[in-house]
Structures are given as structure tokens and as C-alpha cells.
Structure 1
Amino acid sequence: MAIITAAMVKDLRETTGVGMMDCKQALAENEGDMQAAIDWLRKKGLSKAAKKAGRVAAEGLIGAVTAGVKGVVVEVNSETDFVARNEQFQGLVKMIAQVALEVGADLERIKAAKVGDVTVETAIADAIATIGENMTLRRAASLEVGKGVVSSYVHNAVIEGAGKMGVIVALESAGKTDELAVLGRQLAMHVAATNPQALDPAGLDPAAVQREKDVLADKYRQQGKAENVIEKIVESGLKTYYKEVCLLEQASIHAEHSGKSVAQAVKEAEGKVGAPIKVTGFVRYALGEGIDKQESDFAAEVAAASGKK
């Protein structure tokens, strides 16, 4: 039998909003498997959480740069938030993003690229030596279209083009680039706010879709619903799921597009742009998502420092 720790129960409770005892039971029933425990709670009707949000546990900055039909987003991590306020670090992030715009999103190519007389890798090492804190280029992504624009949005920006979250969105169109840029920024802001998993249902992970089907079916099977009824409920539930996690099917967050899906808002914008528009992709980076940072017990640290247990 798996050992269920208090920390595991706490994490599940924070993820689902379900009571402590139910979380403990869910983990015990599923041998400590967090995702299985979330699904178990949903089947019981105790949680509406679709998935655990990425835990933002690293510091640093996200940099986003665009130039016409190209755009990149990079994440550069540091140990503390103080470094993110350091002008040298901020300049480093902007420089790395600019290099990525030129050479692409491959991390090794970015590190090997030269800026003046030094490589990016050397520039990072020099910044570590000067600032006195470890830094890493964690990831990078790029988008490009043949005709159209790639737009960006940086949330909680500390300087232009760098902040705690960065989004790029690619729009393919032969229409007016200035109108496309306005629409692209709106879509990038929407992505920042809603965190879609894919552009449309075809882009979703098949395993995630199957898990959603299983959760819905098992939930209503436990309520004694007939299989033919369950099939219809699951089909309807999937449509709702797609509206929650697929960009083009989500309801637009912008007031001017109230009551419209993103796809409808894009279609409506074609009049201003003067040509058909296709959203070809998006990338959303939130600082530190997916990285767990060990949480310290401040009271225990003080007690230890004073010689108490």
C-alpha cells in the first residue's frame, strides 16, 4: 500500500478544492497516483477540476519578441525574484529572445550563437559570475507564417517584452497587417487569460480526450444511468469540454466579441482585414510552470537556528 503523506493530501486539496478527508481517501484508493485521485474525485462528483495547473515555483523572466511573420518566446530562470528586477538579467533575457528570433528555438543553437565576441552560453555564465546566482535558459518556442503576422502579449511585464508570462499567436492571412496585429494581440491576451490546451479538438492529446470520456461515463454509470443514455451524455460533455480547452471554441474574453466564440470573432475580423484569416498556432509560457520548488518551513528554520526542535 502506498504511503499517503500530508503534503500529497495538501496538494490534492489545493488542486481540487475538495475536503481533506475526501482527498486522503482518493489518494488511498488510487495508490497515491495524483491524476487518478483527481479523476476518482470527479467521478464521485466532488471535483470539477479538469487537470492540475502547472505549479509556478521558479523565478526569472519570460521574454517574447516578434518581427512580422516570426515570433519567439523564451524562459530564463533564476533562483530568486530579486534577480528578475536586475537590469543586467533583464537585458540578458531580451538578448536571448532576440537571438532565438534569428536562429530558432533549439536551445543548443541559441547557446552557441554569438553576440559580439561571446556566445550566449558565455554571456549567461558571465551573468552568473557577476550577479552571484544560478541562471538557466530553460526552454524556447517559435512560430512563423508565410503571410500574415505573429503577435505577442507579455503579462506582468517588468520591461517591454519580458515578464511573468508570455504568449505568441500566429495568424496567416494576406490581409492588412496592422489590423491583423490588433487581432493577434487580442488573441494573445485571450490565451494568457484562459490557458487553452490546443487550437481545436484535433490538436488535443488523444489520451486526455479518452480520460475525459472515461471520467464522464464512469460518473454517470455510478448513478445507474443506462449505457445508451451515458453515450449521449458523454457526447454532450465532450462538446462542453472542447469549449473549455480549445482556443477556437472558447468564448472570447473581449467585450466587443461578447457572446461569440474565438472562431466567430476571427471570422468577423476578416471584414476589417480584407482577407481570410487562419490561426495557425499559439504558445503560452508561464514562469516556472511544471517546476516544483521545495517549500521551506520558516518556523522550523527559526527553531533550528535557535537550537530548538
Structure 2
Amino acid sequence: MFSSKQLVRLFVTSPSTWNTSKNQLAKLRKKTGYTFANCKKALDMHNHDLEKAEKWLHAEAQARGWAKATNLGGRKATEGLVAVLVNKNHGAMVELNCETDFVARNSAFQSLIQTIAKSCISLVPQVCTNGNLLKKEVLEGGRLGSIPGPDGKSLADHVALQIGVLGENMILKRALLVSANENILLSGYSHPAPQQQSEIWLGKYGALVAYNTKDKQPLSESNSDFGKKLCQHVIGMKPKSVGNPETDKPQENADDETVLIYQDYLLDPETKVKDVLDETNVEVLDFARFECGESDVDDAEETAARAQA
């Protein structure tokens, strides 16, 4: 005869129950990415209710992430990625920093910055509200971190969560939001370009370029391709301004040139950018360039000044 305790123990550890527990554990682990130990703990605490276990895991990870973010806050974070996203006449470029290139190449980190870019571009109509044909806004600090993600949690919460998961300090450094009217085309690009291209460009460098045709005629597909080439030039040659041929003069030494129209064209160094623009009937209205980890105060001030121009 089995005692009542033995019957309870036999029931709890029966093969069918154990298989169910294993299946739930595997599902929870696959869905959340948390360790088997934490997934098992969550299931045990919530009577094997998957939904409640998942909610508890996320809440616990969020709390630990904020705690770790506080502890790691003083550590230098100059690696990371720049993400560039263009959706018709809206554009967003964001920079997310971490401590090592190893984490920057992690799929969770890359998924995080993609979430940030999508959240930022969805905010463009609300933020870019001045009356110009080309509207821009730079977001940093608490204003950037308070933007809601797709699940309603702030971007700061999303970053803190990944700090807890990946164990490195992360800084949501800046975002540039751009809105243009229908006669202006926006193009984006990153370098190095990702091996598997998606709607979001990820790299160490990023650029956004706003341009149109000089006669204000509709832009063709070839113009769109040329926009990507202009972004490549901006990334590689680091111009500081577009330039005006009536007021700006070229530098005597071409290597010192920072005015876009007077620079040697990156893809054809024998030709000036101005000549290429004339040949293609394109006018560059504005551009922005992000370099991951750049700390030059002048670069930061220039980005802000250009956004308010």
C-alpha cells in the first residue's frame, strides 16, 4: 500500500505531468530568451501558467535591468550602432551605444535599435511641426528615452531591460527626426552596409540626405538611387554644409574642403559634387551624418544647429 505522501509524490512526478512541464519550459524559454532556471522558477511560482510566468519574467528582468543600469551607468560606452530608417517622406536616424563591439553585433542589441528607430519615425508627425518644407528635430536624454515603444513601455525601459540581459552599459545617445513635403525625397544609408538588407540600415556610420530636382519636377527611380550615393559621399567625405556657389568659395587644398558642392565626388574623385548635381539636375537641400561614438563637441553642436535651421 502507498501512503498518501507517496501517492502525491507519484502523481507530481508522473511521466505525463513531467512531459507537460518540459513542454511549457521549452515554450517559455523560446519565447522569452531567459535562462531555463529562471523560466522554471517562473512556472513553479505561477502553477505552470505560461502567461503569468511570462509577465513575471519580464517584470523581474525589467527591475534587474534598471538596477544593473544604475550600477553600470559610469562605464564608458562608445561602441554600438547607428540606425537609419526612411519611410516615404519621413526619416529617422538614431545612435545607441554599448561598451563592446561584441554586444553591438548581438542580435538582441540590433533588434533593440531597430525598435528604437521604428518608434522614433512613428513620432515624426507629432514632433516635426514647424512650417518649413523640410522639418527636423533632434532628440536626446529624457525626451528621447520617454518615447513609447510598440508595447507602450518607454524606450528607456527597453534599453534598461537589455542592459540586464546583455550585462553592458548602454546609452541611447540621440535621434534625428525629419519630415519633408511631397516634392522632396529623403534617402538613408549606413556603413558598413548590413549583409542582409532590411528597411532599416544598421552600421557604424549613418547619413540622411534631403534633395529634389532643380526644376521641381517629379523625382524618378534613378534619383532615388542617386540619393543613396549622396549618402555614401556624406559618410565618407564628412562635409559640414551644403554650400552656396554665390556666397561660398572653394578651399585651395581640396583635402581641406568641407563644403559639399566643392568636394571631390567620392565615387568619381576627378569630378566635383557640384558638377554631378548639375548633370543629374538634383539639388541637395540638407543632410545629416552620425558617427557612432563620436565625442567631438563641435559635431554635436553642428547636428543640433542644422536640425533647427
TM-score range, shorter chain: 0.5 to 0.7
**Separation in structure 1 between the aligned mates of residue 295 and residue 258 of structure 2, nearest angstrom:** 18
Q: What residue is the counterpart of 1:157 in the other structure?
A: 193
Q: What residue is the counterpart of 1:261 in the other structure?
A: 272
**Separation in structure 2 between the aligned mates of residue 238 and residue 155 of structure 1, nearest angstrom:** 27
**Separation in structure 2 between the aligned mates of residue 134 and residue 244 of structure 1, nearest angstrom:** 37
Match of 1:75 among 91, 95, 99: 95
Q: Secondary structure at 1:197's aligned position in 2?
A: coil
Deviation of 1:123 (Å): 0.7
Deviation of 1:172 (Å): 2.8
**Separation in structure 2 between the aligned mates of residue 287 and residue 82 of structure 1, nearest angstrom:** 15
Deviation of 1:244 (Å): 1.3
Letter in 1 for 2:185: V
Match of 1:168 among 195, 208, 216: 208
Query: 1:242/1:83 Cα in 2 relative to 1: closer, same or farther (>3 Å)?
Result: closer
**Separation in structure 1 between the aligned mates of residue 108 and residue 261 of structure 2, nearest angstrom:** 39
Q: What residue is the counterpart of 2:156 in the other structure?
A: 121
Q: Secondary structure at 1:61's aligned position in 2?
A: strand
Q: What residue is the counterpart of 1:187 in the other structure?
A: 230
Q: What residue is the counterpart of 1:102 in the other structure?
A: 122
**CA offsets, 1:225-262, max 9 Å, x none?**
xxxxxxxxxx8x8454697111111121224xx63321
1:280 aligns with 2:285: yes
Percent identical pairs in the alignment equals 28
**Separation in structure 1 between the aligned mates of residue 98 and residue 111 of structure 2, nearest angstrom:** 14
Q: What residue is the counterpart of 1:84 in the other structure?
A: 104
Instruction: Tell me, yes or no, if the aligned pair for 1:166 and 1:285 is still in contact at 8 Å.
Output: yes
Q: Secondary structure at 2:172's aligned position in 1?
A: strand
**Separation in structure 1 between the aligned mates of residue 81 and residue 251 of structure 2, nearest angstrom:** 36
Query: 1:194/1:141 Cα in 2 relative to 1: closer, same or farther (>3 Å)?
Result: same
Relative to the length of structure 2, the TM-score reads 0.57
- Which runs of 5 or more structure 1 residues have no equivalent in the other structure? 1-56, 210-234, 271-276, 293-309
Q: Secondary structure at 2:287's aligned position in 1?
A: strand
Instruction: Tell me, yes or no, if the aligned pair for 2:185 and 2:219 is still in contact at 8 Å.
Output: no
Q: What residue is the counterpart of 2:83 in the other structure?
A: 63
**Separation in structure 2 between the aligned mates of residue 111 and residue 177 of structure 1, nearest angstrom:** 37
In angstroms, what is the RMSD of aligned CA positions? Answer: 2.9
Structure with bigger RCO (C-alpha 8 Å, 6+ apart): 1
Match of 2:258 among 217, 234, 245: 245
Q: What residue is the counterpart of 1:31 in the other structure?
A: none
Relative to the length of structure 1, the TM-score reads 0.57
Letter in 1 for 2:147: A
**Separation in structure 2 between the aligned mates of residue 148 and residue 201 of structure 1, nearest angstrom:** 19
Q: Which runs of structure 2 are paired with 1:128-139 in the superposition (5 Å)? A: 128-139=163-174
Deviation of 1:101 (Å): 1.5
Deviation of 1:201 (Å): 6.0
Instruction: Tell me, yes or no, if the aligned pair for 1:65 and 1:152 is still in contact at 8 Å.
Output: yes
**Separation in structure 1 between the aligned mates of residue 280 and residue 156 of structure 2, nearest angstrom:** 43
**Separation in structure 2 between the aligned mates of residue 76 and residue 129 of structure 1, nearest angstrom:** 16
Instruction: Tell me, yes or no, if the aligned pair for 1:62 and 1:76 is still in contact at 8 Å.
Output: yes
Deviation of 1:150 (Å): 0.8
**Separation in structure 2 between the aligned mates of residue 136 and residue 243 of structure 1, nearest angstrom:** 33
Give the structure with the larger strand fraction.
2
**CA offsets, 1:166-212, max 9 Å, x none?**
1111113442242221111111111111111211169x9xxxx9xxx
**Separation in structure 2 between the aligned mates of residue 95 and residue 287 of structure 1, nearest angstrom:** 18
**Separation in structure 2 between the aligned mates of residue 122 and residue 193 of structure 1, nearest angstrom:** 34
Q: Secondary structure at 2:241's aligned position in 1?
A: coil
Query: 1:103/1:109 Cα in 2 relative to 1: closer, same or farther (>3 Å)?
Result: farther
- Farther-moved stretch of structure 1 (68-77 vs 82-91): 68-77
Q: Secondary structure at 2:122's aligned position in 1?
A: helix
Instruction: Tell me, yes or no, if the aligned pair for 1:148 and 1:177 is still in contact at 8 Å.
Output: no
- Which runs of 5 or more structure 2 residues have no equivalent in the other structure? 1-76, 125-137, 298-309
Q: How many residues align?
A: 198
**Separation in structure 1 between the aligned mates of residue 242 and residue 91 of structure 2, nearest angstrom:** 17
**CA offsets, 1:106-135, max 9 Å, x none?**
234432222213121111111111111111
Q: Secondary structure at 1:245's aligned position in 2?
A: coil
